[in-house]
Amino acid sequence: MSLVPVTININGTPTPAQVEPRMLLVQFLRDELELTGTHVGCDTSQCGACTVSLNGEAVKSCTLFAVQADGMDVQTIEGIGSMDDLHPIQAAFWEQHGLQCGFCTPGMIMASAEIIRRNPDPSEEEIREQLGGNFCRCTGYHNIVKAISSAAAVMREKGAEAGQAADD
């Protein structure tokens, strides 16, 4: 089986590579690019630990071949914020104790971004329902839900400030 040339825009950097068609996006990220923040929890499409954003939408990178992402934008946990400048969702997970072992956290954060993108002011019930594809074996979800509510509030405020600044 021949290798296929692809260029995937990973965290803002166009990344050319030759991939075997059967290589999953998650394997490409972890094994080829050493972006090991994206985890593999189940490999059967159910746990959400491998969640990344593809052209702005959250997807399970274990259920997508890397070739399918040719020409597209992929954002991983490594691209969402930095140690000096945490993304509001990362900050909220820290402040609200939204993690224990941290295994599910990268996927949780990428899925949280999707929840807030779809509805900037989600109710607790909605957050719980929309987290149906992300499993956490430690926290009991309670603080994850709190973290997402609190991140959404911070992001709404920032959005309002940005809107205000644009109006001024």
Ligand X SMILES: Cc1cc2nc3c(=O)[nH]c(=O)nc-3n(C[C@H](O)[C@H](O)[C@H](O)COP(=O)(O)OP(=O)(O)OC[C@H]3O[C@@H](n4cnc5c(N)ncnc54)[C@H](O)[C@@H]3O)c2cc1C
Contact call for residue 45 and ligand X (CB under 6 A): yes
Other Cβ atoms less than 10 A from the Cβ of 15: the count is 15
Q: Which two tokens stand for residue 81?
A: 């914020």
Residue 111 interacts with ligand FES (CB under 6 A)? no
110 in contact with ligand FES (CB under 6 A): no
Q: Locate tokens 């104790």: which residue?
A: 97
114 binds, among ligand FES, other proteins, ligand X, none (CB under 5 to 8 A by kind): other proteins
* Residue of 9, 15, 46, 100 interacting with ligand X (CB under 6 A): 46
Instruction: For other proteins, give the closer residue by CB, 15 or 63.
Output: 63
Q: Rank residues 16 and 85 by Cβ distance to other proteins and give the closer one.
A: 16
> Counting Cβ atoms within 10 Å, is residue 166 exposed (0-12), middle (13-18) or buried (19+)?
exposed
The nearer residue to ligand X, 15 or 63, going by C-beta atoms, is 63
CA distances from 168 to 31, 157, 163, 164, 165 (A): 48, 16, 9, 6, 5
